[in-house]
Amino acid sequence: IINSIKANKIPNAYLFTGIRGIGKTTIARIVAKSLNCINGVENLCKDTFCENCDAISNSSHIDVLEMDAASKTGVDDVRDLIEFSKYGPTSSKFKIFIIDEVHMLSKQAFNALLKTLEEPPQYENGGSLKFIFATTEIKKIPITVVSRCQRFDLSRIKSSELFEFIVKIKEKENGKITDDALKLIVKMSEGSVRDALSL
């Protein structure tokens, strides 16, 4: 993804698929930051965030719209989105729509989206509109939509990596828990980071 942004060969839409709690929405926000970071993709913010990266982290960026298709599934919601897309970005290069649980959109909503997916608006600042979709159920998305996206299948997190990750959190939080208990949590979460953290 980073290389395609550096080479300026950015697809109109990214599609992240995988089990719940694996980081699809997190990666969507990281991609949005990579596209709109004030320092550029070569010098992405790491420890201290620029105003664009900070706003994207807090879901408050004016040009990066996050929508949960689980609650907004209708064609009217998508039409509002398309109407909003006609106006160029105000403070960054790209206007970005992150649509979570995209498989929940109705058939009419997908049809309304297709034309904009094929021919996204180009803006006066040289930027354009990008979509980032996330889903747990790829089979429910029309093939016409999938074929217009760059698709990434996110695999479950390996047990060893998940274990190391929650050990680090335990240390940061000064938590008291045995390695055996952590291993049980890892086993029960079946590769989902969010499930591991919740447990």
What pLDDT digit, counting tens, does each position of 4-35 carry? 999 989 999 999 999 999 999 999 999 999 99
Instruction: From 170, 174, 117, select the one nearest 142 (Cα to Cα).
Output: 117
Distance CA 83, CA 87 (A): 8
Distance CA 157, CA 175 (A): 22
48-105 pLDDT, tens digit each: 899 999 999 988 899 999 999 888 777 888 888 888 888 888 888 899 999 999 999 9
